[in-house]
Structure 1
Amino acid sequence: MNALRKTGKKHSSESLLSTFDAGGTRHVFDVSDCLNALTKIPDQSIQLIICDPPYNIMLADWDSHTDYIGWASQWLAEAERVLSPTGSIAIFGGLQYQGEAGSGDLLSIISHMRQNSKMLLANLIIWNYPNGMSAQRFFANRHEEIAWFAKTNT
């Protein structure tokens, strides 16, 4: 997008998404169904995607998918398509929902990416919470994992 902007052209998604200029770079964000937004973005035009997908723990309509990995595979493929050759995606998740009804934990996403994508698992980031989340049977979670995938290892 920055390359287009430098030549005086607009990215095709700019009329659809919210944008702001921060020190010479263009940042675009959208709060919507990611699959709808991703299909409107040109190939290899995004440097970084930060994604916090539903955990599929069925607490809301948007958080309920019969085939979670089937659903996730669609937006993961679109994300990979729109990422530039040096692009990355950070996927927030957590291991705390393993075994929940229909859960789509981060391990499932990592496994899917390692089997179906050319992207590399560059890092597993731990986000520490000072207070943690409530727990009924186990220790309260005090962190969440973030899987960082990159198209290149450099």
Structure 2
Amino acid sequence: MNTPHVIVVMGVAGTGKTTIGPLLAQALGVPYAEGDDFHSPANISKMSAGTPLDDEDRGPWLDAIGAWAHSRAGRGGVVSSSALKRTYRDRLRAAAPEAVFLHLTGDRELIEQRMAERKGHFMPAALLDSQYAALQPLQDDEAGVAVDVSGTPEAITDRAVAALRRPDQ
């Protein structure tokens, strides 16, 4: 990555998007936007009640994230978004064609443990099954990399920076 891209930190709930996103932004010297902040109050209420969002719920949220990513074109930035389905990533790319995806992946047991340990988040661990059911990993024709989330946040961030700086990114 030689030019400032917008990096979309993606993955199922509990992979560390909110932890890794700011660390990655700091390492790259660009601003960070928390994807959860783009959710409507209705979406947050729905998830808090243990009801997964559907595509209709996610549309305005994805559009808001896409608008932020578009506003950072040519200047770079990092934003978190589960971006679980290819159609969601396509929608984000329609707004910000140069977006690059960082897919945080990990052992389900580790992710469940992290979700159980976090405090004050609206997304209950009970929705993890729906997240995995919706997940469509990055395809070969999508700009992005996958990084394992085992280890410390700093180690994960270092792996992400190294992967994103490969010449093919």
Is TM more than 0.5 here? no
- The two structures have a TM-score, normalised by structure 2, of 0.34
Q: Which has the higher contact order (CA 8 A, sep 6+)?
A: 2
Could you tell me the TM-score, scaled by structure 1's length?
0.36
**Bigger Cα Rg:** 1
Q: Which has the higher strand share?
A: 1
* Larger helix percent: 2
